[in-house]
Amino acid sequence: MSNTTTLDQSRPIFPFTAIVGQEEMKLALILNVIDPKIGGVMIMGDRGTGKSTTVRALVDLLPEIKVVKNDPFNSDPDDPELMSEEVREKLQKNEELETTIRKICMVDLPLGATEDRVCGTIDIEKALTEGVKAFEPGLLAKANRGILYVDEVNLLDDHLVDVLLDSAASGWNTVEREGISISHPARFILVGSGNPEEGELRPQLLDRFGMHAQIGTVKEAELRVKIVEQRASFDESPVDFRNNYSESQQELTKKLIAARSLLKQVEIDYESRIKISQICSELNVDGLRGDIVTNRASKAIAALENRTTVTPEDIFRVIPLCLRHRLRKDPLESIDSGDKVREVFKKIFGYQS
């Protein structure tokens, strides 16, 4: 069963650094790995544009984390907020915690998944007869401190999307049955992908994703040829192909680890924060999520480039990703929502790209 949900490591994965184009999608994914509090990514684009390939390629780059051994929730031995109840109880009793190092994991959510499969189930019979909270963890437990990937998220039942977004936002999953309630940490980066032809997500669900990357089919003939050639050589000899990119993969992983530790020191000045909020206000963005995500993403991109101060260019690069899905749809509007965000940015920042 687990093979269908956690990406099978024995199957060679296309290297992230070998992916041609689709810069917007790659940047959004990388920034969420640096700062998971950005709130995940929704990737919308045509079929066959490499959405799933890119998300799966991210697995290779993910840094390692310290976890409590044999714990189904990937509990963090140093952070009570990221621990299961059992681990916390052990700590309170001053019991020794066995730890191990493992890669951040990525969990694939199958389209037909039920709520029980996602959230976990409580064995009522066992709870009543033996007096123990018998909990069978679901995919959200497995995804704690990792990435949860939902392909074709726009085809998923709205209720299930709600459950995922609630857990992603609160960092907790609560299962209640027959008066028994069990909570566990469920902090993960939610990555959804979909094809706009199959219908859009409801605006209130879309708004809950931190970033929104739009990707299209590559138009330039030379680039298309390069992509086709790369795919052919990967299919022919995946191991050799991956070896050619091992150095660039390792470099990017190092860069991500460095950025994650530098993030706390990155600052964004007051004037820039005011201007970000002016942009959100002028674009009639509902709520404050847009302001918060833009601030976080701007800091993450500065950390990625090994800087501790955010520049207007950092904000310019991330703000379309953070705001485009929060704009109210105007059927008569001919301008792309990302371009609209860029225009308002240039006006308020007095910026020439």
Q: What does the pLDDT look like over 279-331, one tens digit per residue?
A: 999 999 988 999 999 999 999 999 999 999 999 999 999 999 999 999 887 65
What does the alpha-carbon distance between residue 174 and residue 7 come to, in Å, rounded to a whole number? 25
267-278, pLDDT tens digit by residue? 999 999 999 999
What does the alpha-carbon distance between residue 300 and residue 41 come to, in Å, rounded to a whole number? 14
Q: Above 60 in pLDDT, residue 2?
A: no
Rounded to the nearest integer, the mean pLDDT of the chain is 86
Q: What are phi and psi of 46, to 5 degrees?
A: -60, 165
**E strand residue ranges, the chain:** 41-45, 64-68, 99-103, 106-108, 120-122, 135-137, 146-151, 172-177, 180-185, 188-194, 211-215
Give me the mean pLDDT over the 127-143 stretch. Answer: 77
Which range among 53-62, 221-230, 237-246, 324-333 shows the weakest confidence by mean pLDDT?
324-333
pLDDT at residue number 42? 93
Q: Where in the sequence numbering do the catalytic residues fall?
A: 289
State the pLDDT confidence band at 123, using cuts at 50, 70 and 90.
confident
Q: The tokens of 231 are what?
A: 């795919």
pLDDT at residue number 158? 79
For residues 191 and 106, the answer to whether their CB atoms sit within 8 Å is no
What does the alpha-carbon distance between residue 41 and residue 21 come to, in Å, rounded to a whole number? 18
State the pLDDT confidence band at 96, using cuts at 50, 70 and 90.
confident
Give me the mean pLDDT over the 42-49 stretch. Answer: 85
Q: Which domains does the chain have, with CATH numbers?
A: 2-63+104-215 (3.40.50.300), 263-349 (1.10.8.80)
Give me the mean pLDDT over the 26-53 stretch. Answer: 90
State the pLDDT confidence band at 205, using cuts at 50, 70 and 90.
confident
What does the alpha-carbon distance between residue 276 and residue 345 come to, in Å, rounded to a whole number? 8
Write the CB contacts of 225 (distance below 8 Å, at least 6 apart in sequence). none
State the pLDDT confidence band at 335, using cuts at 50, 70 and 90.
low
Q: The tokens of 246 are what?
A: 């091992």
Q: Which H or E run contains 247?
A: helix 246-262
What does the alpha-carbon distance between residue 263 and residue 195 come to, in Å, rounded to a whole number? 33
What does the alpha-carbon distance between residue 85 and residue 83 come to, in Å, rounded to a whole number? 7
Task: Please tell me which residue, 86 or 335, carries the higher pLDDT value.
Answer: 86
pLDDT at residue number 64? 84
User: How many other CB atoms are there within 10 angstroms of residue 218's CB atom?
Assistant: 16
pLDDT at residue number 333? 60
pLDDT at residue number 5? 41
For residues 293 and 322, the answer to whether their CB atoms sit within 8 Å is yes
Residue 48 gets the label, from left (phi > 0), alpha (psi -120 to 50) or beta, of: left
What does the alpha-carbon distance between residue 331 and residue 310 come to, in Å, rounded to a whole number? 35
220 DSSP 8-state letter: -
pLDDT at residue number 169? 79
Nearest residue to 118 via CA among 96, 90, 141: 141
pLDDT at residue number 127? 61
pTM equals 0.86
